[in-house]
Structure 1
Amino acid sequence: MGVVVEPGVPPEVAGMLRANAPLLSRIRAGWVPPAVQPVERRWPSSLALLAATPLVVAMMSALLASPVAPVGFVLLGGFVFVVLVKIASINEVPLHDRPYERGVYERARWYHGRYLLADDFDAEAKVVLARAQRAIGAVLRSHVNAEGLLDDARNAVMLPEQEWEIARLLAKLSALRGEHKELLARGIAPEVAAVIEPLDRALVTSEAAVVARVEALERYAGHVAEAERAYHARGQIEELRARLPRYEELLAESGADALAVPEIEKLAEDADDLERLLRRSVSSAHEAFRHLEG
């Protein structure tokens, strides 16, 4: 699983966070990228070099035309060297200057608490979250959603909110479950056992409630998958229906039109049946969606 980001985080920031899970883990563990420091340059500035160029060129021309031409070559070489060094210094990015990592670090701090990493979930929670993400992904990637047969606008808003809420609850559950296991591992006095039992039930009940949310998502995804199958089958039947005249023409020209099989003519009926099936499937998906909201 990757980084789960609260839907309210700006898309460009959410994309950066999702693309940098290992870096976010390092930042959470205490790693801090060095701040960007201004680098002092001791070479002549670009403006100074530009101003000096005509003078240097004139001096070199005079020297190259004089008996001391070797001095002109030395000056030319030195000037070219300084220019090349200046160009290199402009393009150079110091090793300690890492603006991208610094940008991730600053956004990670700014949006702290609005994203969750794999480290936030125990093994059981990861399984439950993966189920939710599979169901949500199946709906959002479906053709029936892309074609607007479902409420694609509400799906685009509500399903990421469901993912975040499920992930947030699972992270909290994982933390409490970890603390609870540590407490039990240290040994519980008989007097404390009566208090521990309700806490155990609270953890189990909370997990069951989250799993119920995930199961509702999976039922919704199941209805969408049924609508998806009907959608694709309808498209194939429509394609075959469009070819019917060519088959009928071939049968007529070959003198076999009397032998036209009912299965070919039945394509129109099949298409109508699939259209009704698609409508029923989409209607069932809408019902599951409303149940999911409730």
Structure 2
Amino acid sequence: MNDRLDEPIVDPAVPEPYRRKIVVMPFLLYASSEPSARRRRFYTVGGAVTGVAGLFMAGMAIKLNSPFSASASFLAIVAGGFFVNAGRPGLAEQLRSRYGDCYVLPADLDDDTSDLVRRARQAIKSVSASRVNRLGLLDYMVNDVVLPERLWDIARLLRAQEALRAEQVEAMSEVMTPELAVVLAPQQEALSRSTAAVTDQVLEHEEYARRVQKAGAALQAHELLKSNDRYRDLLARTDDAQGLRNLTENVDALGITLAENLRDAISAGRTLTAPRNDAEV
């Protein structure tokens, strides 16, 4: 199984058009070959000057009725427009500028933290794709609003932990002194407690998915009862009284089981309240 996260996790507050760009084209957000801000200013100013010069040349061409000047002015205007356009920020820079803190890229996480995000996302996908959810038998607010917020909360916390963990590794590469140990010990404990809290949140998501799956199985069993009449006809033709009793005795129990499993799944989902701060680092 591939335990790596294969796409960015995006803050649910990001507008959908930009969210789609981030998810579909994450390569734009890595190291970019776009020109620097200084070079873009050069392009913009140079393009504007070239364009103005082209307009001046166009005026002179009209005044002098010169085909050569007209061609040169046209080329200058086109070149000016090209350089002005080249000086504008590209899509990658626009996304980073507007939403740089609103997504977590796979490269931001190591294998272990990436696996935690993947597990949480897989649990959410399992719930969303379940038949009991599609039939509207679960709490839609939990599934449509809370779960995406919790996934984002988990991803950003893990990214913060990753940065602090790197800081810890760098600090411990130095000569360990009593003063340094005094500082590092509580920081390491805080990081460990935060990591454990986020892991617990992932387990809660997986438990919710498990209960939804159990409710789905109960729903499927309950729906299969619709075929009982055909089986009952088969048994009636052979006067099999015991078979008829066996066929009908679990009908009520299955209905109760379905109701209990649905209540259990809904209850588990409602424990996943809006993102909590107890795992903050």
- Tell me how far apart the structure 1 counterparts of residues 151 and 143 of structure 2 sit (CA, whole Å): 12
Distance 2:175 2:187 in 1: 16
The 1-side partners of 2:197 and 2:128 are apart by 24
Q: How does 1:1-294 map to 2 (within 5 A)?
A: 1=5, 2-25=7-30, 29-32=31-34, 102-238=90-226, 240-244=227-231, 246-247=233-234, 252=237, 256=238, 258=239, 260=240, 262-293=242-273
Distance in 2 (CA, whole Å) between partners of 1:123 and 1:270 is 47
Deviations 1:137-174 (A, max 9, x none): 11111111111111124311110000000111111011
1:118 to partner: Cα distance: 0.9
Looking at structure 2, the residues matched to 136 and 262 of structure 1 have their Cα atoms a distance apart, in angstroms, of 44
Q: For 2:135 and 2:14, locate their aligned partners in 1 and report how far apart those are by CA, in whole Å.
A: 27
Q: Measured at CA, do residues 22 and 242 of structure 1 come closer, stay the same or move farther in structure 2, by a change above 3 Å?
A: farther
Task: Give the 3 Å change call, closer, same or farther, for CA 120–268 of structure 1 in structure 2.
Answer: same
Q: CA separation in 2, counterparts of 1:33 and 1:3?
A: 25
Report if aligned partners of 1:6, 1:164 keep a CA contact under 8 Å in 2.
Answer: yes
Change (3 A) 1:190 1:226: same
> What secondary structure does 1:31 align onto?
coil
Stretch deviating more after TM superposition (162-171 or 227-236): 227-236
Query: Which of these two proteins has the greater Rg computed from alpha carbons?
Result: 1
**Cα distance in 2 for residues equivalent to 1:293 and 1:153:** 10
Does the 8 Å CA contact 1:33/1:105 hold for their aligned counterparts?
Answer: no
Q: Is the 8 A contact 1:237 1:267 kept in 2?
A: no
Q: What is the CA–CA distance in structure 2 between the aligned matches of 1:165 and 1:149, rounded to whole Å?
A: 26
Deviation, 1:211, is 1.1
> Structure 1: any 5+ residue segments left out of the alignment?
41-93
Unmatched 5+ residue regions in structure 2? 51-81, 275-281
The one-letter amino acid paired with 2:158 is L
CA deviation map 1:262-281 (0-9, x unaligned): 33554344343222111111
The answer as to whether partners of 1:237 and 1:270 remain within 8 angstroms in 2 is no
Question: Structure 1: how far apart are the matches of 2:93 and 2:230?
Answer: 59
Letter in 2 for 1:247: L
Q: What is the alpha-carbon distance in structure 2 between the residues aligned to residue 24 and residue 242 of structure 1?
A: 60
Q: 1:158 to 1:199 in 2, by over 3 A?
A: same
The sequence identity of aligned pairs, in percent, is 31
Distance 2:97 2:151 in 1: 22
Aligned residues: 225
| Distance in 2 separating the partners of 1:217 and 1:163 | 9
Q: Give 1:282's aligned amino acid.
A: L
Contact 2:212 2:262 in 1 (8 A): yes
**Counterparts of 2:251 and 2:96, CA distance in 1:** 53
Conserved in 2, the CA contact under 8 Å of 1:135 and 1:217? yes
Distance 1:14 1:267 in 2: 52
Secondary structure class of the residue paired with 2:224: helix
Q: Which amino acid aligns with 2:210?
A: G
Query: Take 1:131 and 1:280, find their aligned partners in 2: how far apart are those partners?
Result: 26
Judged with a 3 Å threshold, the aligned counterparts in structure 2 of structure 1 residues 268 and 122 are, in CA distance, closer, same or farther, namely same
SS of the residue corresponding to residue 250 of structure 2 reads: helix
**Amino acid across the alignment from 2:10:** V
Q: TM-score, normalised by structure 2?
A: 0.71
C-alpha displacement at 1:213, in angstroms?
A: 1.2
Gap change, CA 1:267 and 1:13, over 3 Å in 2: farther
In 1, distance between residues paired with 2:29 and 2:246?
A: 59
CA RMSD of aligned residues (A): 2.9
Task: Look up the SS of the partner of 2:34 in the other structure.
Answer: coil
Residue by residue over 1:168-200, the C-alpha shift from the partner in whole angstroms, topping out at 9 and shown as x without a partner, is: 111101110111111112332233112211111
Residue identity opposite 2:124 in structure 1: I
1:283–1:31 CA distance, 2 compared to 1 (3 A): same
